[in-house]
C-alpha cells in the first residue's frame, strides 16, 4: 500500500509539473472586445511559456476580482479607482501601460446637433432634448468616465428612472448593439468602436476632447493579502508589458491601419 501511495503521489507531482504555468488576468471588455488580447497575449506566452487566462469584465468587477484574490493581475482603466485600491493595500506595482480615448457616437442625422461640440455641451443637448442614450451601466471604467461627464453636464443618472436613458448593464459591445438598434447616442472607447461591426446608422460625433482621455494601468494583486497570488509569473507579465518589447507590441496592433492603443509606460 505504501508503494502504491508513493507511486500515485509521484504521478500527481509529475502531472502538476507538466501543467503549463498560468496567471489569471482580470481586465476590461474593451481590451478583449477590441481584439488586443488575441494579438498581445500569444506574443508573451510564446516568449515565456506562461499562459495568461484573461477574464474580461467591467473595470469595477475586475478590481473586485483582485480584491477578493480571484486574480493575479488587473489591467483596467479607471486610474482614480486603481490608485485608491493601491492605497488601501489591495494591489501593488501599479504602472501606466497605454492609453486611447473615448468618443461620443450617435445617429448620422444627429437630431440634437452634437457634432463638433465639446463633450459636456453635447451631453447637455442630449439632456435638453431627452434623446435616446445607451449607457453601459455596469460600473466599468467607461461607465465611470461617462458618469463624470454627465455630472459636468448637470445630470445625475442615478437620481430616478428616465425612459430616454437606457442602462444596459453589460459590456461595450452589447451596449453599442443596443445603441445601433435604438439609433441612440453612446460613449464608447475607440478600440471597441474600431472593431465593432454592427454600427448601423451610428457614427462618431464628438472626439478629441481632452476630457475623453482614457488611461490603462496594470497592477499586481497584493501577495501579502493573498499568498496564493503567482507573484513571479505575474511580475514577468507586468515587466514585459512595460518593456520596450511589450510597448512595441501594443503599438503594432491596428485595425484597418488605425492604431487602437498608444503605449505610455514610464512617461
Q: What is the CATH number of the domain that holds 133?
A: 3.40.190.10
Contact of 24 with 183, CB cutoff 8 Å: no
- For position 245, what pLDDT does the model report? 97
What is the structure's pLDDT at 132? Answer: 96
In this predicted structure, what is the pLDDT of residue 19? 64
Instruction: Specify the range with the lowest mean pLDDT, choosing from 4-8, 166-170, 254-258.
Output: 4-8
DSSP codes joined into one string, 210-246: GGGEEEEEEEEE-TTT-TTS-HHHHHHHHHHHHSHHH
**Residue 8 reports pLDDT greater than 80:** no
Return the pLDDT at 96. 97
Which region among 26-40, 100-114, 229-243 has the lowest average model confidence (pLDDT)? 26-40
Higher pLDDT, 123 or 16: 123
Confidence at residue 156, expressed as pLDDT on a 0 to 100 scale: 82
Same domain, 28 and 92: yes
pLDDT of 42 above 50 = yes
pLDDT at residue 100, rounded to an integer: 94
Residue 217 has pLDDT above 80, yes or no: yes
Secondary structure, 3-state, 95-133: EEEEEEEEEEEEECCCCCCCCCCCHHHHHHHHHHHCCCE
11: phi > 0 → left, psi -120 to 50 → alpha, else beta; which? alpha
Same domain, residue pair 15 and 87? yes
Neighbours of 17 (CB within 10 A): 7
Which of these three, 212, 227, 246, is where a domain ends? 212
Q: Are residues 72 and 106 in the same domain?
A: no
State residue 108 phi and psi, 5-degree precision: -60, -30
Q: Average model confidence (pLDDT) for the chain?
A: 91
Owning domain of residue 219: 2-100+215-263
Is residue 10 scored above 70 in pLDDT?
Answer: no
Q: Is the pLDDT of residue 12 over 60?
A: no
pLDDT tens for each residue of 129-182: 999 999 999 989 999 999 999 999 998 877 777 889 999 999 899 999 999 999
Same domain, yes or no: 50 and 80: yes
Alpha helix locations (H) across the chain? 2-18, 29-33, 36-48, 59-68, 79-87, 119-129, 141-152, 172-182, 190-195, 231-242, 244-252
Q: What is the pLDDT of residue 159?
A: 75
Percentage of the chain lying above the pLDDT 90 cut: 82
User: How many percent of the chain have pLDDT more than 70?
Assistant: 92
* Pair 179, 185: CB distance under 8 Å: yes
- For residues 49 and 148, membership in a common domain is answered with no
pLDDT given at position 18? 53
C-alpha cell, 175: 451596449
Residues 196, 64 share a domain: no
For residues 106 and 232, membership in a common domain is answered with: no
CA atoms within 13 A on the CB side of 127: 15
Average pLDDT over residues 49-65: 95
Please state whether the predicted TM-score (pTM) of the whole model is above 0.75. Answer: yes
Query: Would you tell me the crossing angle of helices 119-129 and 141-152 to the nearest 10 degrees?
Result: 80
**With bands split at pLDDT 50, 70 and 90, how would you rate the model's confidence at 86?**
very high
61 alpha carbon, distance to own chain's centre: 10
Average of per-residue pLDDT across 119-126: 96
Number of domains in the chain: 2
Residues 148 and 83 occupy one common structural domain: no
The answer on pLDDT for 29 being more than 90 is no
Amino acid at each position: 500500500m505504501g508503494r502504491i501511495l508513493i507511486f500515485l503521489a509521484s504521478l500527481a507531482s509529475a502531472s502538476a509539473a507538466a501543467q503549463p504555468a498560468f496567471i489569471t488576468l482580470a481586465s476590461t471588455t474593451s481590451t478583449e472586445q477590441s481584439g488586443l488580447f488575441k494579438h498581445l497575449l500569444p506574443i508573451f506566452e510564446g516568449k515565456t511559456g506562461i499562459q495568461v487566462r484573461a477574464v474580461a469584465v467591467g473595470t469595477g468587477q475586475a478590481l473586485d476580482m483582485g480584491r477578493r484574490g480571484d486574480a493575479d493581475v488587473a489591467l483596467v482603466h479607471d486610474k482614480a479607482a486603481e490608485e485608491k485600491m493601491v492605497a488601501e493595500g489591495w494591489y501593488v506595482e501599479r504602472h501606466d501601460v497605454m492609453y486611447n480615448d473615448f468618443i461620443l457616437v450617435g445617429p448620422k442625422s444627429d437630431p440634437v446637433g452634437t457634432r463638433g461640440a465639446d463633450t459636456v455641451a453635447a451631453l447637455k443637448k442630449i439632456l435638453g432634448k431627452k434623446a435616446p442614450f445607451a449607457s453601459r451601466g455596469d460600473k466599468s471604467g467607461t461607465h465611470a468616465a461617462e458618469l463624470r461627464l454627465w455630472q459636468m453636464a448637470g445630470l445625475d443618472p442615478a437620481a430616478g428612472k428616465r425612459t430616454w436613458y437606457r442602462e444596459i448593464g453589460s459590456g461595450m459591445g452589447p451596449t453599442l448593439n443596443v445603441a445601433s438598434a435604438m439609433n441612440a447616442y453612446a460613449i464608447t472607447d475607440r478600440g471597441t468602436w474600431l472593431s465593432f461591426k454592427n454600427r448601423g446608422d451610428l457614427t462618431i460625433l464628438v472626439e478629441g476632447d481632452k476630457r475623453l482621455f482614457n488611461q490603462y494601468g496594470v497592477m499586481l494583486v497584493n501577495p501579502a493579502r493573498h499568498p496564493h497570488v503567482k507573484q513571479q509569473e505575474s511580475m514577468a507579465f507586468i515587466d514585459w508589458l512595460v518593456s520596450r518589447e511589450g510597448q512595441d507590441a501594443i503599438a503594432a496592433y491596428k485595425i484597418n491601419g488605425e492604431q487602437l492603443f498608444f503605449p505610455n509606460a514610464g512617461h
